[in-house]
Structure 1
Amino acid sequence: MHVGFVMNPVAGMGGRVGLKGTDGKVAEAVALGAEPRAPTRARRTLDRLAAVAPGMTVSTAADPMGEEVVRAAGFDPVRVVDPFGDEIDGPPGPTETTADHTARVVEAFVGGDGGDDERDDDAPVDLVLFVGGDGTAGDVATALEAADSEVPMLGVPAGVKVYSSVFAVSPEDAAEIAATFSRTERREVMDIDEDAYREGEVHPELRAVARVPVADDLQSSKQTASGTVESLAEGVAADIRERDGEGVTFVLGPGSTVGAIKAELGFEPSPIGVDVWRDGEVVVWDGTEAEILDALGDENVIVVSPIGGQGFVFGRGNPQLSPAVIRRCDLRIVASRTKLDDIRALRVDTDDPELDAELAGWVRVRVGKFETRMMKIA
C-alpha cells in the first residue's frame, strides 16, 4: 500500500477562538492566540499508522504540509512533493499555504509528477490521506477529478465544521482504515459558506462526490433533524431557572436545539456560538475557549446536542468546548427523538484521547420536557 499524505496546516485554527472556521480568518485567528490543530491530529494518525502498518510506503508534501510530521512518526517518505517551487525564498509559514498548493500535491500523488526526493518513486499512490476540514476535502476531491483519477481519498478531521462523509471518525480510525481497506465507494463532499455560517445560516452544498474506502468508522453527512423541540426546550430551561441564584454556570453549546433552550431562557442566542448563563443572565455571549474558562465557577454544566446524522457531541462545530472546559463541567446532552432515531451511536472527538475514553459509555439524553433516552457514546 502506498499512501500520499498531505496536511492543511491551518485547518481548525479558528475554532478555539470562536471564529467558527478558518477560511479567510487565519490572520485574525493568529492575532487571537489560536494554535495549530492539524499537526497534532496528523501525528496521532501517523503514529497509529506506524504501529499497525510499519512497512507502509508513504509520499508526502514539503513542509509545512506534511514532511516533518511524517518523518517524526518514523516514516521515510519515498517522495516529497514541493508544491511551492520558486514562489518564496525558503519554506513558507503555515498561513502561506493555499488550496492551489493542496491541488498540486494531489496531482503529483496520482500523476507521478513533482517528486524531489533523491529516491523518487513515480508510481501513483493507492490512497490520498489528508488532514483538514470540508474546504480541504473539496480541494482534494477537485484535484482528483481534474486528474481523472480513481484513487480514493480519506480525511482526518481537523476542521471546525466537518459536514462531508469522506472523513474518519477520529485520527486513529483514519490510520486503521488506511491500513486495512479493500473496497471503495462514492461519498459526498459537502461545504458551507463560512461567512453565512457565522451569522447562523447553515446551508451545506454538495461540492463533489469522491471515492472513499468502505469502513464502519466513517462519519455520515450532516443531516438536519426534523421534529419539534419546544417541549424539550421548555423543560430544560425550567431546570436551569431553578438553579438561578445558586451560582451554577451553564455553558450552552451551539445548534438549533440548544438555541431553542436559549430562546426559552429569554435571550437571543449567538449564531452557531457558545453562550454562558449564570443566575438569570448571560455572562458570556459567543464565547471563545478562554472566555468560557474565565467564566466557569465551582459548579458548571455543559448543555449540548449531537449533530444530526453524525452523532458528534464534541469535536464538530464546537471546538470552543475544549478538553479544559469539558473537564470542569458536568455534561447534559439534549436532542429531539427524531434526531436520535437517525443516530446509531453518539461520538466524541475532543483532541484528547484520554478524555474521549472517559466520556465513552452509556449516557442519558434528554428528549422531552421530562423524558430521557439512554444512548451510548462509542
Structure 2
Amino acid sequence: MHQKPPVPADEFDRVITLSDLDLDYSNLNESFKDLVKLAARVSGTNISLVNLIDSYTQWTISNFGLPLEQMPREDSVCQYTIMEEEQFEVKDLKLDQRFKDKPYVADGPKLGYYFGIPLKTKTGQNLGALCVMDQQEKELSPEKVELLRIIADEIVNRLMILQVVNSLSHDLHEAREVKKRVAHDIRGPIGGIIGLADLLIRKGEKNNIEEVLEFIRMIHKSGTSLLELADEILNTELKTSKKEEPQLREYELNLQLFKEKLEKLYQPQAQNKEISFTVNIDPPESVAPFPKNKLLQITGNLISNAIKFTPAHGQVSVDLDLIEEEDTRILHIQVNDSGIGLEKKQMDTILGGQSSASTDGTGGEHGFGFGLPLVKYLVESLEGTLDAHSVVNKGTTFDIWMPIQSNR
C-alpha cells in the first residue's frame, strides 16, 4: 500500500507563488551552480541539489555530484522538506520505509544520507529545498547547518532577483512600445494639421489674407517637421525588424522554442512511463515572438496531468497554434491524451475552479489535487479561456485560448 504523500496546508498559495516567478526550469543552472557546489563543500557530502517542487514534479534547477534534472514529486525526499519550518534530515534512507525502495536508494547511486532546508520566501511559502546527500551517514554541526541555511536564503534571493530582472526587462520593452505608440498617435493629428494648412493656403491665396497665410505657412512648416520626427522614431524602432528576423528576449518565446522547451522538460516523464509524447506547431516556420507569461507553467501542468492519467503505451500530444487576426494574436494550446478520462461531474468541478480531489494516476502516481485548478487560475488571470472535454476510458482534451499582446 502506497503511503499518502504530504501536502502543505498552503499548497495552492505555494504553487501560485512558484508560478508567479515564471521560471524556465531548463535554463537556471548557471545562476546557482556556485551555491550548490558550496553547499556540498560545507556539508562534506558528495551531492548537493537545488530543487523546486510544483504540482506534479520536482525540478532540479542546479546540481552537483548527481546529474539529475527532474523526478515525480511523490518519489522525492524534498517533498517532506517543504513541510518543515527549518530542516529535514534522514540519517539512513535505506532504513526509512518511505524511501528504502526508491531507485536512488535501492539502485545506483545508493544514497543513504539526506539533509534538506526549505527554500522559504519572505511571505512564508516553501518553493522547494536545498538538499545535500551522500552514500555515507554524515554529522552536520550547528555551524554547518547555519551555513547551509545562509546558502538557502541566497538561493531564494537570487530567484527573486531573476524575477525582478525579467520584470524590468519587460518594463523597458514596454517603455519602447509606448514611444512607438506615441509616434503612431501623433502622425494622424499632424497629418490633419498639414491637410488643413494646405486647404487654408489655397483659400487664403484667393482671398489675399496675407497675415493668415503667413501663420498657416508656419503651422505647415512646424507640422511637417513633427511628421518627419515621427517617421524618424518609427524607422529607428522598426529598422532591425524589417531587415532581420525578430530576436527573442529573455522573457519571450516563439512556437519553435516553446516546442523545444516542452519536449526537453516533459519527454523524460513520458518515456519513463512508456508514453508517446509529441508537440506540434502551426505555422511550423513561425518565428513571431510572444511573452512567456507563465505559458511553461500552464502547459506543463496540463502535460504532467495527461501523463499521470494515461496508461503505458498511450499517447499525449500538444498542439500549439498562433492565430493571426486583424488586430490581435491568439495562442491556442491543445493537450490531448488517451488516458482514463474524467466523468462530467469531475470535469465540471475543475472548470468551475474548485480544487479537484486527489486521485492516483494509472502508474500508481499520487495525486495532489491542485494542478488543474492552478491552470484555470493562471489562464483566467491572463484573460485567457480554458475548456475541456473528456470521455471515460477514451481520453481528455484541454483547450486554452490565450490573447497575445503585441510585442514588437
TM-score when scaled to structure 2? 0.23
Over alpha carbons, which structure has the higher Rg?
Answer: 2
TM-score when scaled to structure 1? 0.25
Higher relative contact order (CA 8 A, sep 6+): 1
